Amino acid sequence: MKTKLILLYGGKSAEHEVSLQTALSVINALDLNKFEALPVYITNDGDWIQGPEITHQLDFSDQLRFSPEEQLRLAEKEDEVSSGFLISPADVTEEQENTVVFPLLHGPNGEDGTVQGLLEVLNLPYVGNGVLASAAAMDKIVMKKVFADAGIPQLPAVAVRSIDWKNFREEMVADMEEALTYPMFVKPANLGSSVGISKAENRDELYQAMDEAFLYDRRVVVEQGVVAREIEMAVLGNDTPACSVPGEILPKGSKAVFYDYKAKYQDNDTTLVIPAEVSEEVENKLKEYAIQAFLGLDASGLVRADFFVTEQDEIFLNEVNTMPGFTPVSMYPLLWQASGISYSQLIEQLVELGLERHEAKNQLKYRLDD
């Protein structure tokens, strides 16, 4: 019997388009002899729209944009996209037997534990991280506290609330300049894919970067910049996770100042080097810290851990991502491909890990014996 795989994608998030790219890639990699693929598109407004079962590969991510009002015709294509129909989130539980949900959502309202909490309440097995790991890793301020408690080295950082920035911006900047040196990186606390992140080389740029970041979140983290290589590790598993080989992000052109959203998804202005050239000692330390971070968050399924490595081989954990970019050319799948697991195999393993975690949860007692 096929496993029914409910694919959640889109989402009420600035990373909506990234999620569509991920969904297209996963759908086209599925073995449809093993999986019954049911797409559920979450619009920018938060509506859930179920589309028809996927029975063949798709050409464009726009084929996954379902509308309950009208048929959508793709440019220069004769095929029409199904209209789909509005559903309640609870409707995904109509047939639970042999059903797994695969949240392919990036950013708030999907990667941050909100959808995971819904699926927990509905008692549905799902792929990837649970509520705690998703929420803690999505919040860069909370995440840093978890890693500090685990003793994982990080760069200095300052957290700022929007109300304090509005009323005491001069004092806030003075605090940042006392604790940190330029360049500084300014990030919304609860976004991924480098959305809203800016590099500030001076005070004027810092003011601009803060205003930009507060467009996306009410809390912002300002981090110390460092001259270092960007090395990433992929972690896979549940209670006994495994780590991939390391990969490095290199900017292609002189204009690239860091791996921002435009470089990741629009310009193709970076090169991924896999495996990264690091010493055995550094690689072992990266794996140790990546697994410590995974276990410290009580993660499950998948995590990508992003590090800085200096010329002196100092290692700093930058952040982790509980739903990293997941197209065939994204770092996480490529790291596992270089480690011996293909993209299709990776998807199947993640589904198995989701079922494993759900079964373990259902073995717990939920009532006291009379």
Span 173-221, pLDDT tens digits: 999 999 999 999 999 998 754 678 999 999 999 999 999 999 989 999 9
CATH number of the domain bearing residue 164: 3.30.1490.20
CATH number of the domain bearing residue 333: 3.30.470.20
Does 201 participate in catalysis according to the annotation?
Answer: no
Residues 6+ apart with CB under 8 A from 8: 40, 42, 101, 102, 103, 104, 105, 110, 115
Q: How many domains does the chain have?
A: 3
Query: Is 365 part of any domain?
Result: no
Does 330 participate in catalysis according to the annotation?
Answer: yes
Are 21 and 34 within one domain? Answer: yes
Are 34 and 80 within one domain? Answer: yes
Predicted confidence at residue 70, as pLDDT, reads 45
Are 78 and 44 within one domain? Answer: yes
Extract the tokens encoding 323.
């739903």
- Which residues are annotated binding-site positions for Mg(2+)? 306, 319, 321
Predicted confidence at residue 72, as pLDDT, reads 45
Query: Is 194 part of any domain?
Result: yes
Question: What is the arithmetic mean of pLDDT over 32-51?
Answer: 94
Are 144 and 269 within one domain? Answer: yes
Query: Is 367 part of any domain?
Result: no
User: Strand pairing of 35-42 and 3-10?
Assistant: parallel
Are 283 and 145 within one domain? Answer: yes
Are 254 and 105 within one domain? Answer: no
Are 214 and 121 within one domain? Answer: no
Which span out of 105-114, 195-204, 254-263, 299-308 was modeled with the highest average pLDDT?
A: 299-308
Is the confidence at residue 76, as pLDDT, over 80? no
Distance from the first to the final alpha carbon of the chain: 39
Are 114 and 215 within one domain? Answer: no
CATH number of the domain bearing residue 65: 3.40.50.20
User: Could you say which of 13, 15, 61, 134 is catalytic?
Assistant: 15
Does 244 participate in catalysis according to the annotation?
Answer: no
Are 233 and 197 within one domain? Answer: no
- Which residues are annotated binding-site positions for ATP? 140, 185-187, 193-194, 223-230, 318-319
**Residue ending a domain, choose from 187, 202, 224:** 224
Are 175 and 212 within one domain? Answer: yes
Q: Which residues pair with 116 in a beta bridge?
A: none
- Which residues are annotated binding-site positions? 140, 185-187, 193-194, 223-230, 306, 318-319, 321
Q: Which domain range does residue 168 map to? A: 157-224
pTM for the whole structure:
0.88
